[in-house]
Amino acid sequence: MSEHVVVIYPHPDDEAFGASGTITTFREKGIPVTYLCGTLGEMGRNMGNPTFATRETLPEIRKQELIKACEVLDVELKMLGYRDKTLEFESREEVATNLYSYLKEIKPSLVITHYPGYAVHPDHDAFGAAAIRAVEMFPEEERPTVWAQAISNDHVEILGNPQIQNDVSAVFRKKFESIMAHKSQADGMLSKVKNESDDVELAAKTWLGTESFYIWNFE
């Protein structure tokens, strides 16, 4: 199986905040990365500050932001067209089968997704569960490794320390650039940091400078 990383998250900006440093390190090694993005995040609460989006215009704005972020990260983007905030109501098996159709074609060596039950947002939990189910559909000898990202406050207490802890401070400039590509969301997400520091990038690095993942055990 040739090296190829597939990132599976439900929203534009999940990749930037969650894994863009790790993605950058793979790209610097020449390893291809494909992002399967579930929705356009069209139900997101952040409309910019000051407001520059409406509920009607937000989907296209977030789509363009996603395209820009993926250009920054030099990854292939596939938008899957699910509806934001409804993934928990989709048939997990149907979503998994759809994801498997992409994975079967790409044949990745590694899949990065959310850790079901420890990813805070119902879309994160549902899409992560479907992604893991999709990987499970491979014959065991062809199955890619899965790195599952937990972001709930209690995940270390319950799951223990993640096996993968990537210090991405050396490539943080690229991570920050990908975050800022999602302007409609970044302004709100970074507002607390902006209030506490004049150097937003440096302050963000202390918050987002390590990306952690659990290696999923299929047994």
- At residue 38, the pLDDT reads 98
Give the pLDDT of residue 47: 59
Interacting residues of 198 by C-beta distance below 8 A, sequence separation 6+: none
Q: Which residues pair with residue 31 across a beta bridge?
A: none
Which residue do the tokens 């139900």 mark?
43
pLDDT, tens only, 71-125: 999 999 999 999 999 999 999 999 999 999 999 999 999 999 999 999 999 999 9
Question: How many alpha carbons fall within 13 Å on the CB side of residue 208?
Answer: 28
Please give the domain boundaries of the chain with CATH numbers for all domains: 5-215 (3.40.50.10320)
Average pLDDT for residues 17-44, to the nearest whole number? 96
pTM of the model: 0.94
Burial (CB count <10 Å: 0-12, 13-18, 19+), residue 141 = exposed
pLDDT tens-digit profile of 155-199?
A: 999 999 999 999 999 999 999 999 999 998 887 777 666 666 778
- Determine contact, residues 84/41, Cβ cutoff 8 Å: yes
